[in-house]
Structure 1
Amino acid sequence: MKILFVLIVVVLHAFLGASQADDCSGIWNGDQQLNRSSSVAIRLTLLHHQHPCSPIRHPTRTDLPLTWHRSRTLDRERMLASRLFFRRRRRASATNVSVPVTIDAAGASYGFVAQIGLGTPPTMQSVLIDSAASFSWVQCKPCGDGCYEQDGPLMDVLASTTYRRVPCSSPLCLSASAATMAHTDCSPGYNGACLYRITYMDRSASKGCLSTDTLTVGEESFPEFVFGCSRRHEGAFGRYAGIFGFAIGRLSFFSQVVEKAHQYRAFSYYLPSPSSVGYIQVGRYDEGGLSFTPMLTAGHDYYLILTGITVDGCSLDLADDGQGQPSSAATTDDAHLYLDLGSALSILPRRVHARLSDAVAERMRGYDRVRSWPGCFDPAYLSTERAVPAVEMHLKGGARLVLDEDKLMYKRPDGRQCLGFVPGSFFLLGSMQLQMIYVAQDVERSRMGFSNEQYE
């Protein structure tokens, strides 16, 4: 009887495993939110990092500690501050400097994953989508001990009939220097190939050859897509094959697809929860039901104009008394609100964060404030009524981003509720406040549209 029981358990486990594998294959192959393109848009399926089919899902935990999310968000803030400083310095001097950009290695355990194909025949790659990145790369072999373990096969450049290295004499090499904010290099050992290096906030890095090959998205193929063929890494990047960027730099995935597919310059998305399937698409989008606000750019970064924050209809003072970065426009009535899908939480200048915490605390019912954690609340003992105030972010042009409880508060496994904002030096809007709503970033018309209707 014991042997029969063990046999049944083994067979059931194998059946469930095969069933989940089929379901995951269906997600990527088109049974659910498929990778498909049309005459008006190029679409990619998007999964939350903790979705059961995500290649980098942590096998034993369904959430990450709040301290990790706070640390990660502040790393993103330092990255953006470095980029803004770098651009001011480049305008003032011809000297080229190298600064950390985009995600940190710890961030490889967070984000939204999509699948693309590279090469002829195409090899499918699970990549991290980053709206703040101007450069795309994947791991390539042969790379010896320089590569980390990823989900799926590494790209084999020797097996692709369309792979090419970009020479140092190509203008693309100069574009790579601008995208990575570091010098590109020419090495005699690589026969004049353009070598790139991109460094991240925790000093992790990816380096290799600037390359071109055929990009496959759904049923569409785009020749001579420019990317980094990475053969050496410092630090860890989870199980992603690489990073694909949606900033407006010439070498970002977004910019190249727009040019090669003659698409309208916009991308729209639905950022999914860990249990749902989302998408990101390049090109025309459905404008129905969207509220629009102007979207501006600083270098390769996108930002909005934040005109106010209200808590139950009461306005907060957005001024930071001179403590914020100049880019936050703290001395005016409005503020620059940077967009970063690679950050889980959002950032407010410290004094503004304190005002929001105070205003929310005054109106929370059924929770006690945690003094040791700014913006955090514990469920009140024996309280049967729990409520959080209505918070809205007001944007130029009259658009309002409504933050319901799921977008305002971050719930920890122990029941503690914390604001989805961390104190920093300027304003940044992360992915938590944009999840499960329809968003369109229209670069062509310099505007962003969103719907406050939540979907699941």
Structure 2
Amino acid sequence: MAHLPSPMLRSFPCFVLVLFTVLARDSSAGVVQDNAVVVSLHELKFGDDDRLSSMSASQIPRKQNGATILELKHHIPLSKPKKNHAKYIQNLLILDEARATSIQDHIKNYSKFQEKNAEFSSEAAQLPLSSGIKLQTLNYVTTITIGSTNTTVIVDTGSDLTWVQCTPCMACYTQQDPIFNSSSSPTYISVPCNSTTCTTSLQAATGISGSCSSDRNSCFYALGYGDGSYTRGILAQETIALGDVQIPNFIFGCGRSNRGLFGGTSGLMGLGRTQLSLVSQTTDQFGGVFSYCLPTRLYNSSGSLVLGNDTSAFKNATPVSYTRMIVDPTMAPFYFLNLTGASVGGVPINASGFSNGKILIDSGTVITRLPPSIYKALKAEFVAQFSSYPAVAGFSILDTCFNLSSYDEVRVPTLKLELEGEVTVSIDVSGILYFVKKDGSQVCLAMASLSYEDQVGIIGNYQQKNQRVVYDTVGSRLGFAKEPCSYS
């Protein structure tokens, strides 16, 4: 769930978070044959809804290979998904499209977005109430400690400001953990409204400067998301704990008025690129480097998020290959790279869109979006190689679907993305097909087309599974390696 405002390579201690995620088993269950993976349909199916009640208990933080390990789980709703699985998936895709559209709007006209949020900011001191719209929910969460309160937050590479709901809460949504009480914490301090943190840093992180409280002792922030949801409150400093790593004077948003469907979490952890992101604020501890590995199954599966440059925490099966991180100060906090090519089943894709292949990678967007010329060529080649399976109608943003219900095994063409620097990212088989219907009667190519050729592509989390993705913000590079994502 990326917000739509704003936007040293040394050996450092490392911080690992364990997570539970999307879909089936590792692709190792399949057999690679001639640029295709033959895999059991059962292995590809989406995790059963009834597993919601069988999630394992939270693990106690521990150290391993010099790393601090916390549990990072896949974000699931407070209640079970509806029995109508297709409707549930449709809602997720609609919300995912809202996020992707908002990102495009932000990139297209950043200055107008700032002007719009300036009006939003002028009301922040009064903390007005208004209706929020649902945020997309297929994200990842972890539990950290703010002051002495354990709190569960969504982890997002497309956001900068970390925030949680706080008391006194003028308008808060339902969350699972106790709401943070700033008045009971001796280490809580409000950020002054005349500080550069309230003006320059906050504007870089959210697109707008803070405003002053009536006594001018506190800085009010107002952060609007692209779908209409928001958080408003006081910018503050507090000691946070990431496992046994203490971060004093951490700047965060103490949200007094918050709206949106955040699935019972307490707020959000921003892993973007500006000064207020957790990555930037912990550079002394972790060197501005973090990485993650997203596993394939929605429930009872684990992977890791590592803060720091300790590669001994990785379990990668191939060496980490790095591509250049494209830095665009006007489009913080997003991470951009250069897409130079793609192949399906070993057949290279020819498309004009590769000539300007700037693409962003995002942990909060689910489905990968490609420029129309690239998507059209990729789709045509995939359909040609998958033609032995009957086609069915498209679903929501997914327009290439098949009926696989009568098959025990399917032969899925390999899919690879080529990045600048001759870096090849092989998409795991679990990230190629998306189950709309549990019985396999509607299974779709898990990619979508952008509306226009000049829009910026997005590599979503569904295509990042079983990959070690390394974000080196100091070295301005992104790394990729195959890794069977598990925590053991």
TM-score bucket of the superposed structures, by smaller chain: 0.7 to 0.9
Superposition pairs of residues 124-273 of structure 1, within 5 angstroms:
124-144=150-170, 146-174=171-199, 175-188=201-214, 191-259=216-284, 261=285, 263-272=286-295, 273=297
Distance change >3 Å, CA 66–CA 316, structure 1 → 2:
farther
1:234-267 residue CA offsets vs partner (Å, 9 max, x unmatched): 33322110011111110011111124x2x32210
On the 8 A contact 1:116/1:125 being kept in 2, the answer is yes
1:370-411 residue CA offsets vs partner (Å, 9 max, x unmatched): 354454322268567632212111111111111232111112
**Cα shift at 1:433:** 1.1
**1:444 corresponds to:** 474
Name the count of aligned residue pairs: 402
**Cα shift at 1:205:** 1.1
1-structure distance, mates of 2:381, 2:161: 40
Structure 1 unaligned regions, length at least 5: 1-16, 51-55, 320-329
Superposition pairs of residues 266-415 of structure 1, within 5 angstroms:
266-272=289-295, 273-274=297-298, 275-286=300-311, 289-299=319-329, 300=332, 301-319=334-352, 330=353, 333-373=355-395, 375-379=399-403, 386-412=410-436, 413-415=438-440
**1:111 corresponds to:** 139
1:50-108 residue CA offsets vs partner (Å, 9 max, x unmatched): 4xxxxx45424596744334323322222222332344669xxxx855289xxx95335
**Cα shift at 1:318:** 3.3
- CA radius of gyration, larger in: 1
**Cα shift at 1:124:** 0.5
1-structure distance, mates of 2:301, 2:133: 25
On the 8 A contact 1:114/1:129 being kept in 2, the answer is yes
1:286-324 residue CA offsets vs partner (Å, 9 max, x unmatched): 1872122222222321111111011122222332xxxxx
Q: Tell me the secondary structure at the aligned position of residue 74 of structure 1.
A: helix
Which structure would you say has the larger RCO, counting Cα contacts within 8 Å and 6 or more residues apart? Answer: 2
The alignment's TM-score, normalised by the length of structure 1, stands at 0.80
Are 1:59 and 2:84 counterparts?
no
**1:11 corresponds to:** none
2-structure distance, mates of 1:381, 1:233: 43
On the 8 A contact 2:435/2:443 being kept in 1, the answer is yes
Q: Tell me the secondary structure at the aligned position of residue 230 of structure 1.
A: strand
Q: Which moved more, 1:70-79 or 1:227-236?
A: 70-79
Q: Which one of 424, 432, 435 corresponds to residue 462 of structure 2?
A: 432
Are 1:75 and 2:62 counterparts?
no
Superposition pairs of residues 9-20 of structure 1, within 5 angstroms:
none
1:337-377 residue CA offsets vs partner (Å, 9 max, x unmatched): 20110011110122322222221111115422235445432
Counterpart of 1:420, as a letter, is A
On the 8 A contact 1:141/1:157 being kept in 2, the answer is yes
**Cα shift at 1:186:** 1.2
Distance change >3 Å, CA 108–CA 142, structure 1 → 2:
farther
On the 8 A contact 2:166/2:254 being kept in 1, the answer is yes
Distance change >3 Å, CA 318–CA 43, structure 1 → 2:
farther
On the 8 A contact 1:295/1:446 being kept in 2, the answer is yes
Counterpart of 1:215, as a letter, is I
Structure 2 unaligned regions, length at least 5: 1-50, 121-131
Counterpart of 1:364, as a letter, is F
On the 8 A contact 2:340/2:419 being kept in 1, the answer is yes
**1:45 corresponds to:** 71
On the 8 A contact 2:428/2:463 being kept in 1, the answer is no
Distance change >3 Å, CA 270–CA 372, structure 1 → 2:
closer
Superposition pairs of residues 25-36 of structure 1, within 5 angstroms:
25=58, 27=59, 29-30=60-61, 34=62, 36=63
**Cα shift at 1:282:** 1.7
